[in-house]
Amino acid sequence: MDGQTQHIADRRRRPLRDLRVSVTDRCNFRCTYCMPRDVFGRDFVFLPSHEILRFEEIARLAGVFARLGVQKIRLTGGEPLVRRDVEVLVRMLAGLEGISDLTLTTNGSLLARKAQALRAAGLQRVSVSLDSLDDATFAAMNDVAAPVSLVLDGIEAARRAGLWPIKVNMVVRRGVNDKDILPMARHFHHTGIAVRFIEYMDVGTTNHWRMDDVVPSAEVLATIDAELPIEPIEPAYRGEVARVYRYRDGGGEVGVISSVTQPFCGACTRMRLSADGKLYTCLFAENGFDLRARLRSGAGDEDLLAEITQLWGRRDDNYSEQRATASARHKIEMSRIGG
């Protein structure tokens, strides 16, 4: 493969910089905003193993994306740590030229046992989902009675292993866990771990989303600032989805992801690859481009590069900016493309 890097832009002049790779559609949690049990129950049919991309296929595609300017790869799911031997994939990706940021998003439940192997394989950092520090609230949200301590132990194991910096993601829902905003901020204040408070989003069609359930980021920030004063800091890079603030007392950083009330479509630099090899140009997409079929029918790297270039070049997605007027559609589920 020719290692020369190309730089491509979509119709809104957004460059391609980030690739999110779902390694499985399965998860050991049933979070109500992502994989609600009334849909993803005992009878739900997940992808059979032969339909899921092999590690070698993912690594090959990642190499093509690196040639197109992708610098950051994030492994997601489902829950990526339920994929057997995922550290083998990490080792493959860590060796790719041009990839400077290799990270993983997890619910943290298996992180204590996996952190050391992931770091040894070349993973640089992790983001951990934790929606409450209250066991009853957290259990109700993950819907498998997983305790908070399980995730906190995983975070500590990641810290000891050198997976750093660590970010904690909290999806905030009105009347469910909004009372936990301040406890979460207090807990991670002065730890070096940054919390990202995420507005509850209408990803997919199964999570019973309502605008009334959204706690605007402005409200989250005001709640924190009233006790722990904060001030904004400049984005670290173009396309950073979080608006980041620092504590005025030097206690670290906190961020908000405001896809609903303050859309950031104009700076979106991400593509998403599902576990079955579909490529999506937006978190709120309806359809994906089947790269697995192209891989398994013998397409060469140059063919794949040309097709991805064309797909990105046609990209005009800005769903979050159109949410109020967008017609109802059957969007892909978060559990398929990792949020």
Q: What digits encode the pLDDT tens for the residues 57-100?
A: 999 999 999 999 999 999 999 999 999 999 999 999 999 999 99
Give the residue with greater pLDDT, 10 vs 337.
10
In terms of average pLDDT, the best of 61-75, 193-207, 278-292 is: 61-75
pLDDT at residue 1 in the model:
46
**Is the per-residue pLDDT at 338 higher than 80?**
no
d(CA 267, CA 15): 9
Residue with more model confidence, 314 or 203: 314
d(CA 133, CA 136): 9
- CA 148, CA 138: separation in Å to the nearest integer? 7
Please say if the pLDDT value at position 146 is more than 90.
Answer: yes
Q: Taking the chain, what is the end-to-end CA distance rounded to the nearest angstrom?
A: 31
**195 has which bridge partners?**
168, 254
Residue from 29, 25, 27, 26 nearest 143 by CA:
29
Out of 80-84, 234-238, 315-319, which region has the weakest mean confidence (pLDDT)?
234-238
Beta pairing partners, 246: 231, 253
pLDDT-based confidence at 321, cuts 50/70/90?
low
Report the pLDDT averaged over residues 14-21: 96
Q: Tens digit of pLDDT for each residue in 27-38?
A: 999 998 889 999
pTM: 0.93
The string over 200-222, giving b where at least 16 C-beta atoms fall within 10 Å of a residue's C-beta and e elsewhere, is: bbbbbebbebeeebbbbbebbbe
Residue type, 90: V
Q: CATH number of the domain at 18-337, out of 3.20.20.70, 3.40.50.2000, 3.40.605.10, 3.20.20.140?
A: 3.20.20.70
Is the model more confident about 238 or about 150? 150
Q: In the structure encoding, which two tokens stand for residue 243, read together?
A: 């608006």
Range list of H helices, 252-333: 291-296, 301-314, 319-322
Identify the residue with better confidence: 336 or 108: 108
